[in-house]
Chain A
């Protein structure tokens, strides 16, 4: 029996990291590796365990689909490296087997497991699956890994868990960056939402059926690049409903123009904030083929007031960058909105390079976030128009708080109201409201309000109430709920709350075919409440 199947490494100095690097990537493809190491270091990694022989389900699938069929001999045995933010002082000569497992489990329980990377036995594409914890926030900013799930791995009798977003590298034989981005999205859906498990080879296969002209431009077919059609076929195959948004690249100026109603940063933010990864198609001047990366989170910052807000501003006003998984560069990297932004980690940015984006929506979502948000703003306008009359009619009621309504109405006039739109499950929205600070009377109206499987929620705060580093510290005044499964937008509105007022739309109990019944109530003792916070109900 070999005694070097598991290696424990202290990573206290650069020399230690260099040794690890030469063990797992003794070749020239080190750009992504160094970036992954940098991310691991940012997460305070100080030790690692290397499993020298690991059979990886993903690579086994790729091996069966391609590598086992070519003349050159390939191994199918991978390595797996586990990172820890504690010095795992368990590999002493006197350690018992039980002691090893127990100590590892205790490290995990204390949050000392940082994540893992699978190393393929391929010189040209070392990285299989990589999952690391969420990155730390840069100074005075908040980095939110919004597309995340818990990944469980088993090592030496312990179950280790890491909450992150999966990353992989293209191998240019089975797939390119596009397949890598789709694979990462698919693996997230599998882990978080019981979606289909697919390997890179299966993504490539799904992208190529039916075959088309683009696939015949590279060998093996589709291994070097994909068109939007190919990507959309693969996303459909894994059970998603892709939605495409595009700008236009002007060859003369090398600039990208987006149609006025589409603001790419705002669009990405809405979907990523819904926990949906977004595929970003990037263009580079003088390069014929673009690049695809996957947006999995965002970094927000605070702004010094006063600031010029756009019309109907959204929380995207506070964005610094998106967190992207780039198969060539690394994991959870900050891609800025504009060139020259401090704390950026990619050479490309939204303004200069983003040509299109694909949102893999869940099935049954028939309305885009942009439409839901436009309807929500319309209700804000109506609320403002009616506020004075509404206040006059209800001011005499005890506990009717006209101050919060005046305050919000004034913010509407001054253009300082800020929206935030996200997709969620109907049941989860209800659960969040029950645990929020809204008055009990509002909860009592929402608790049995029939809701569809998916809803768009648009929250409304103000510049000041959203201008906080952490979303936990923000407050909102109003919100609208729209039926995301409706393709007929005027019928999508379900619930609208703003200071002092609750307006609801629901099926007529006497006849489903009639227009929705509308119900309106005065809300007494109204107050500001919490926005959605991921991980907190």
Chain B
């Protein structure tokens, strides 16, 4: 598409293959089940913080 003015700035000089061109790009690079479980555990540990120290006062 031309805008009718100016010239596009050519920035990328790296030869990339995209998942549009080759559907195998990115296959196997999904977030693994082990990492998902690790993340769920982190989130659960943060969530339960309130139970552990919710009534603790500092002064």
Which A residues are closer than 8 A to B by beta carbons?
A: 176-178, 214, 218, 224-229, 231, 243-249, 259-262, 281-283, 288-292, 355-356, 368, 370-371, 374-375, 377-379, 381-382, 386, 440-442, 444-445, 447-448, 489-490, 493, 502-504, 508, 517-523
Contact = CB atoms under 8 A, between A and B. Distances in A.
A520 B54 contact: no
B7 interface: no
Interface string B21-43: 00001101111101100110111
Given A262-B45, A368-B46, A502-B14, A281 B39 contact: no
A440 B43 contact: no
Interface of B: 11-20, 25-26, 28-32, 34-35, 38-39, 41-43, 45-46, 48-50, 52-59
Given A246-B52, A368-B46, A517 B58 contact: no
Contacts of A375: 31, 35, 39
A282 B48 CA distance: 18
Contacts of A249: 53, 56
A260 B44 CA distance: 11
Contacts of A226: 57-59
Contacts of A508: 20
Given A244-B49, A445-B14, A519-B18, A227 B25 contact: no
Chain A: interface secondary structure? mixed
B42 A520 contact: no
Given A244-B50, A374-B42, 5 more contacts: A244-B46, A260-B45, A290-B57, A378-B32, A490-B31
10 contacts: A227-B54, A246-B53, A247-B52, A261-B38, A281-B56, A356-B53, A368-B42, A489-B31, A518-B29, A521-B16
Contact of B53 (A281, A288, A374, A521): A281
Given A244-B50, A259-B48, A490-B31, A374 B38 contact: yes
Contact of B19 (A355, A356, A517): A517
A475 to B, nearest CB: 22
A499 B7 CA distance: 34
A177 B59 contact: yes
